[in-house]
Structure 1
Amino acid sequence: MFTKENTVLILIDIQGKLAQLMYKKDDLFNALQTLIRGMKILDIPVLWVEQIPDKLGNTIPEVADLMKELMPEVSPIAKKTFSCCANEEFMKKFKDVNRKQVLVAGIETHICLYQTAVDLLGAGFEVQVVADCVSSRTKGNKKLGIKRIVQAGGAATSTEMIIFELMKAAEGDAFRQMVKVIK
């Protein structure tokens, strides 16, 4: 079971025209917004990564604007490598949050998410892919990416599943706020 004290979310490459080509993109964007709001309520740190933003464009407004509103202290980390773990700036910030349980969300499931998850698993971290918060250009590549992460030792979860796993109980102010977010 993941805990609030040990969890970090990595938002990967939800950018520009590529994001617009994702399988079921509207569902993806809505789920990502719910996940980000949930992480804010639960005070879970978020690392935000962009793949060569000068070529692929910046994070889509649906995600970037929400991040700037809810977590203005967090800014995107630019990378060229498919795995976030091969990026020096990312690894410094990742080590600084000092968490052992990692949620991955973003695009594309079969490339950057897969490679990041496998590297993290190989380094001894627990990894869950938030299945409704990931996509690829095709349904097949999305499913294959999730399957390969699970085969490598990770797990699949959903936005609601992980939020309630982290909350543990239906009580308190965080629960009241979360009910409004989940709707």
Structure 2
Amino acid sequence: MLLQNDTGLIIVDIQGKLAEIVHQSESVIANATVLAKGANCLGLPIVWLEQNPSRLGATTASLSDALGDYQPIPKMTFDGCGADAFNEAIEKAGVKSWLICGIETHICVYQTAMSLLQKGYNVEIVSDCVASRTAQNKDMAITKLLSKGAGVTSLEMCLFEMIGDCRSPAFKDVLRLIK
């Protein structure tokens, strides 16, 4: 089970024109935005990555706006763990479990998740908040990650799993985001 006090969110490369051309892009961007807002409601640490932003562009505006005071960590490697600032942010967060959303599932999301698993973290891919240019590549990445020890969850499932009780102070705020 995901625990609110031991879980963080990693957002991977939802940026530029690539964010607009992945399979089901509008849905993925909308869901990732709700996930970021939900993570803020729950007080989760958020680590936000951008792949080569000077070439690929900035994070999609709706998602960037939802991230408030958080700042993106630029990277050149597909694996977020190739960026020292990312590793420092992950360690500083002090949590053991990470939700991951972003694009492309079979490249940057996959490689980042694999490195986190190798470092001993629990990783959950938020299936309706990840995408690749083709559905087949997304499915292949999730299948492979499952075989390597990652978990798979959904936007609503992970948020309500961490809330755990309708009396939680975050319940009504998250419920408004989902509806």
TM over 0.5: yes
Distance 1:172 1:108 in 2: 34
CA deviation vs aligned residue, 1:125-171 (integer Å, no higher than 9, x gap): 10000000000000101111111111110011000000011011111
Other-structure match for 1:163: 159
Other-structure match for 1:173: 169
CA deviation vs aligned residue, 1:67-112 (integer Å, no higher than 9, x gap): 12xxx1x100000011111111110111111111011100000001
Normalising by structure 2, report the TM-score. Answer: 0.97
2:147 counterpart letter in structure 1: Q
**1:82 maps to which of 71, 78, 81:** 78
Other-structure match for 2:7: 7
Shift of 1:172: 3.4
Other-structure match for 1:103: 99
Q: Which 5+ residue runs of structure 2 have no aligned equivalent?
A: none
Other-structure match for 2:111: 115
Other-structure match for 1:39: 39
Identical amino acids, percent of aligned pairs = 38
Q: Which 5+ residue runs of structure 1 have no aligned equivalent?
A: none
Secondary structure of the residue aligned to 2:169 is helix
Secondary structure of the residue aligned to 2:170 is helix
Distance 2:94 2:122 in 1: 13
Is 1:142 the counterpart of 2:138 in the alignment? yes
Distance 1:142 1:4 in 2: 27
Other-structure match for 1:50: 50
Secondary structure of the residue aligned to 2:149 is coil
Contact 2:50 2:75 in 1 (8 A): yes
Contact 2:12 2:102 in 1 (8 A): yes
Distance 2:32 2:47 in 1: 14
RMSD: 0.8
Shift of 1:113: 0.5
Normalising by structure 1, report the TM-score. Answer: 0.95
Distance 1:5 1:150 in 2: 24
Other-structure match for 2:149: 153
Secondary structure of the residue aligned to 1:162 is helix
Distance 2:168 2:134 in 1: 40
